[in-house]
Chain A
Amino acid sequence: MKVKFFPFFLSLIFLLIFIVFFKGLNKSNIYAPDNIIEKKVPSFSGKLFNQEKEVNSSEIFAEKKFYLVNIWASWCIPCREEHSFLMELNRIENLEIIGINYKDKTDNAKSFLNELKNPYDLIILDKNGTISIEWGAYGVPETFLISDKNIIKKIIGPLNTDSFSEIKDLVR
């Protein structure tokens, strides 16, 4: 019998797709929990939003409290999704929220904040995206929880109820 190569090959491809989908199912899709733990915050400097002032990372994280660094942009739709969580987190006393405005137009960012309110205590401009690269960010939105200059939690993608309550527990 002639060995049919093509059907065999095609079945193999479909098998591969099956395996990938199967693995994809078990993988939670917006969450990369223990990716980096106990890493130092990167050092960087950047311009502040709304002010003509340059700041340095060592000044920003100087105090002895928790910091939440959130990379966002007005063009990013998932950022709208997570916004209410940030507003909620903003109410926590010993947590300072620092926004990194990623590759954005200042006007758009302003109207974004006007529309949805401003949850950030401090916003750093990252016009060309280099600061976010320093943080090892994959994209927007991304959120880092910092304690004592260590990154203790990294959340890729928008915050959701689970990550929200986890942050609340960690900060307490």
Chain B
Amino acid sequence: MPSIIGFYSLNFGLIISFLIIFFSIKNFKNSDNLDKKIVIFTFLQFLFVIISFIGLILSFVNSDFSNETVFNHSHTTKPLFYKISGTWGNHEGSLLLWLLVLTLFIFIFLIKSNTQPKKYRVLTLLFQQVIIIGFFIFLLKTSNPFNYVLPKPEEGLGLNPILQDPALAIHPPILYLGYVGSSIIFSSALAATSTNYLSKEWAKHIKIWVLISWILLSLGILLGSIWAYYELGWGGFWFWDPVENVSLMPWLALITLLHCVIVMEKRLILTSWAVILSIATFSLSMCGTFLVRSGILNSVHTFANDPERGLFILVFLFSLIFLSLFIFFFFHKTDNKNLNSFNLFSKETSIIVNNWFMMYFLSVVLIGTIYPIFLDVISSEKISVGPPFYHKLIIPFLIPFLIAMTLGLKLKWIKSEIKDKKNLIIFFLISVLISILIVRNFDTNFLIYTVLISSAFFLFFVTVRDFFVKKFSSFSQNISHFGFSLLILSILFNNFLTNETIINLKLGQTHVAEKFIIKFEDVNQSSQKNYESVVGKFSVKNNDGKTDILYPELRIYNQPNIVTSEAYIKTNFFLDKFMTMNYVQNEEYFNIRYQTKPLMLWIWISVILISLGGLTSLFKKKYES
């Protein structure tokens, strides 16, 4: 029953789209005020989609296996929490969620943009409805979440156990909120271009949406990588997997756009940049959807290999790109009088320089992700691009990036000299000194890492000092940049100081290593609701006399039949102890992977700090220089 209601209300939602378009066009030409009907219809559309979404959730909760989506992705023995999260843990449901967020956001946009010109609001709504209709048709035509299975199966096929995880249950919705937020930015930029409303007011207005999407995207990516850290059992947190990359690209575009919009709000320059980046952000999000959903790439995230779906998104994506190119080139009027008034030492220059770097990072990720596809199509050659490619191309460029970032914080708008030079030089020397002392102990490329760590420390010290000197005057800017320096430092030290031991142990055996002794104490088997659990008990005695007890786990899921290994992670402020356990050939032995990873917690904290900067600036009235 909920399925039927869900299906019909989805259709009603689509019909309302056409009504909205009809009334919007009428309203656009005729009156000076936004027609109340349009707002009501937008709300109704959201209501229909949410009914449909609740319908799908109820089908999952009731384990209604006559619904194909439920049958494919659920099972009666699954805990309620994962039945619900299973709703968006699959292709069809996740698209429905996407549509839900689309309709929610445009509704919020309409009621929150009272002070903006009517034409701009209506046009934004129109562009957004084009996207919404596209998604409605995509959903109903190629991926209907409410398809029937006849006869009704007794039992479902189950959700991939690797996805049954609290972090992953909320990872997709948050990420989608970020992606979809970028659609509002896209529509709004196009509307502002066509109505010639690219002004300081627009910049101020859209900045909020940029911030919101960016914060949500950051948190979504963070959750995904935390999940990868403890669930995939490799102890890594970023793999340069194509699907991770496609979420990183809109993130980079958004953060660049954010800086552009900040400059635009102050000085009304970089307007073309802002429009192009708005278009790019959403196109990259859509491109990500295409790459993931079409099966053109292989990855853990690939839901279904269905060329028909891929074709639809592809055509849709490129229609939007061509539409936006058309609007940009025919309506956008560049205002040349402001363009040349840049001063070498000004905040805007430093922002532009960093935007170039950001664009460079974006291109590296883009090329690494899609070049293999190009090569395969054009010459049938297969290559795979891995972490070394990204590391070699990105790491050296982080150095000027960090330095420009630090100096940029010390510059004022329009024209200035660098403030407190003396302090900067002192900080720089201290940073270099510390880095030399630290890097000497590592077995790595001395020169490049000394310089890199110095520049990260430089940013670190300068921002820390600003917390005390400037107090709250540019708190949000400071905290984000401080977070970024912390992120780079944590990642680097984490990389250098990670220690890994892989051994096979029998119950009762001990392994003596240089710095610790691992003893396999005990193993326990127990039956959980939808899996069998095997928990090992290991004691790790460190040289300093302290003993840790670790409990890595193996889960043997019954539906579908998959063994997953749950890492046991003992986190403290400076060091993570990470242990996974796996079966070995003759079953008496277990394969143990034990890692000590310093500063893991700080990687997560620094990403949260970076987002926190965005969040605090949302609550501020005015951006300080």
Stretch at the interface among A13-21, A41-49, A94-102, A123-131: A13-21
Give, as a whole number of angstroms, the nearest-CB distance from A27 to chain B. Answer: 6
Report the Cα distance A113→B137, complex, angstroms.
Answer: 49
Report the Cα distance A6→B591, complex, angstroms.
Answer: 59
Contact of A7 among B325, B380, B382 (CB under 8 A): B325
Given A24-B376, A29-B298, A156-B382, A114 and B329 touching (CB < 8 A)?
no
Report the Cα distance A111→B505, complex, angstroms.
Answer: 12
B605 within 8 A of A: no
**Size bracket, chain B contacts:** 20 to 34
Interface of B (DSSP majority class): mixed
Give chain B residues whose Cβ lies under 8 Å from the Cβ of A24: 296, 373, 376-377
Report the Cα distance A58→B325, complex, angstroms.
Answer: 62
Contact of B584 among A10, A20, A115 (CB under 8 A): A115
Report the Cα distance A79→B381, complex, angstroms.
Answer: 20
What is the 8 Å Cβ interface bit string for chain A, positions 21-43, against chain B (1 contact, 0 not)?
11111110110100000000000
Interface of A (DSSP majority class): helix
Contact of B381 among A23, A26, A117, A138 (CB under 8 A): A138
A11 within 8 A of B: yes
A4 within 8 A of B: yes
- In the bound complex, do residue B322 and residue A11 qualify as a contact, i.e. CB atoms below 8 Å apart? yes
Given A26-B307, A114-B504, A10 and B325 touching (CB < 8 A)?
yes
Given A11-B322, A14-B318, A115-B582, A22 and B311 touching (CB < 8 A)?
yes
B310 within 8 A of A: yes
What is the 8 Å Cβ interface bit string for chain B, positions 300-319, against chain A (1 contact, 0 not)?
00000001001100100010
B290 within 8 A of A: yes
A118 within 8 A of B: yes
Report the Cα distance A21→B584, complex, angstroms.
Answer: 42
- Interface residues in B291-341 by Cβ distance below 8 A to A read 294-298, 307, 310-311, 314, 318, 321-322, 325, 329
Give chain B residues whose Cβ lies under 8 Å from the Cβ of A6: 329
Report the Cα distance A20→B296, complex, angstroms.
Answer: 11
Q: How many residues of A contact B (CB 8 A)?
A: 27
Contact of A21 among B314, B329, B378, B502 (CB under 8 A): B314
Give chain B residues whose Cβ lies under 8 Å from the Cβ of A23: 377
Give chain B residues whose Cβ lies under 8 Å from the Cβ of A27: 376-377
Contact of A29 among B296, B311, B314 (CB under 8 A): B296
Report the Cα distance A18→B297, complex, angstroms.
Answer: 16
B524 within 8 A of A: no
- In the bound complex, do residue A7 and residue B318 qualify as a contact, i.e. CB atoms below 8 Å apart? no
What is the 8 Å Cβ interface bit string for chain B, positions 120-158, against chain A (1 contact, 0 not)?
000000000000000000000000000000000000000
- In the bound complex, do residue A25 and residue B376 qualify as a contact, i.e. CB atoms below 8 Å apart? no
- Chain A: which residue is nearest B330 at the CB level? A7
B589 within 8 A of A: yes
- In the bound complex, do residue B296 and residue A21 qualify as a contact, i.e. CB atoms below 8 Å apart? yes
Give chain A residues whose Cβ lies under 8 Å from the Cβ of B296: 21, 24-25, 29
Give chain A residues whose Cβ lies under 8 Å from the Cβ of B582: 115
B623 within 8 A of A: no
- In the bound complex, do residue A25 and residue B311 qualify as a contact, i.e. CB atoms below 8 Å apart? yes
- In the bound complex, do residue B311 and residue A114 qualify as a contact, i.e. CB atoms below 8 Å apart? no
Give chain B residues whose Cβ lies under 8 Å from the Cβ of A26: 307
Given A14-B321, A111-B504, A139-B384, A25 and B329 touching (CB < 8 A)?
no
Give, as a whole number of angstroms, the nearest-CB distance from B238 to chain A. Answer: 14
- In the bound complex, do residue A25 and residue B314 qualify as a contact, i.e. CB atoms below 8 Å apart? yes
Give chain A residues whose Cβ lies under 8 Å from the Cβ of B322: 11, 14
Given A14-B322, A20-B373, A139-B382, A25 and B294 touching (CB < 8 A)?
yes
Report the Cα distance A4→B329, complex, angstroms.
Answer: 9
- Give the number of A-B contacts (CB < 8 Å): 69
- In the bound complex, do residue B376 and residue A111 qualify as a contact, i.e. CB atoms below 8 Å apart? no
Report the Cα distance A118→B584, complex, angstroms.
Answer: 10
Give, as a whole number of angstroms, the nearest-CB distance from B391 to chain A. Answer: 15
Given A117-B585, A156-B382, A21 and B325 touching (CB < 8 A)?
no
Give chain B residues whose Cβ lies under 8 Å from the Cβ of A139: 382-384
- In the bound complex, do residue A111 and residue B591 qualify as a contact, i.e. CB atoms below 8 Å apart? yes
Give, as a whole number of angstroms, the nearest-CB distance from A113 to chain B. Answer: 8
Given A10-B325, A111-B504, A115-B591, A157 and B585 touching (CB < 8 A)?
no
B374 within 8 A of A: yes
Give, as a whole number of angstroms, the nearest-CB distance from B389 to chain A. Answer: 14
- Interface residues in A76-111 by Cβ distance below 8 A to B read 111
- Chain A: which residue is nearest B321 at the CB level? A14
What is the 8 Å Cβ interface bit string for chain B, positions 582-614, against chain A (1 contact, 0 not)?
111100010100000000000000000000000
- Chain A: which residue is nearest B283 at the CB level? A14
Given A21-B314, A139-B382, A114 and B325 touching (CB < 8 A)?
no
- Chain B: which residue is nearest A35 at the CB level? B380
Report the Cα distance A7→B502, complex, angstroms.
Answer: 56
- In the bound complex, do residue B307 and residue A21 qualify as a contact, i.e. CB atoms below 8 Å apart? no
Give, as a whole number of angstroms, the nearest-CB distance from A143 to chain B. Answer: 14
Give chain B residues whose Cβ lies under 8 Å from the Cβ of A25: 294, 296, 307, 310-311, 314
Give chain B residues whose Cβ lies under 8 Å from the Cβ of A7: 325, 329
- In the bound complex, do residue A21 and residue B585 qualify as a contact, i.e. CB atoms below 8 Å apart? no
- Chain A: which residue is nearest B583 at the CB level? A115
- Chain B: which residue is nearest A22 at the CB level? B314
Report the Cα distance A70→B294, complex, angstroms.
Answer: 29
- Interface residues in B459-504 by Cβ distance below 8 A to A read 502, 504
Report the Cα distance A114→B378, complex, angstroms.
Answer: 40
Report the Cα distance A117→B582, complex, angstroms.
Answer: 11
Give, as a whole number of angstroms, the nearest-CB distance from A105 to chain B. Answer: 12
What is the 8 Å Cβ interface bit string for chain B, positions 542-566, against chain A (1 contact, 0 not)?
0000000000000000000000000
Give chain A residues whose Cβ lies under 8 Å from the Cβ of B298: 29-30, 157
Give, as a whole number of angstroms, the nearest-CB distance from B509 to chain A. Answer: 14
- In the bound complex, do residue B378 and residue A20 qualify as a contact, i.e. CB atoms below 8 Å apart? yes
Give chain A residues whose Cβ lies under 8 Å from the Cβ of B591: 111, 114-115
Report the Cα distance A18→B589, complex, angstroms.
Answer: 52
- Chain A: which residue is nearest B378 at the CB level? A20
Give chain A residues whose Cβ lies under 8 Å from the Cβ of B504: 111, 114
Contact of B376 among A4, A29, A114, A117 (CB under 8 A): A29
Q: What are 5 contact pairs spanning A and B, CB under 8 A?
A: A6-B329, A21-B290, A25-B296, A117-B584, A139-B384
- 6 A-B pairs with the lowest CB-CB distances in the bound complex, closest first: A7-B329, A115-B591, A23-B377, A117-B585, A25-B310, A138-B382
- The chain B residues found within 8 Å of chain A, CB to CB, are 290, 294-298, 307, 310-311, 314, 318, 321-322, 325, 329, 373-374, 376-378, 380-384, 502, 504, 582-585, 589, 591
**New A-B contacts (4) at CB < 8 Å, excluding given A18-B318, A22-B314, A25-B294:** A23-B377, A30-B298, A114-B584, A114-B591
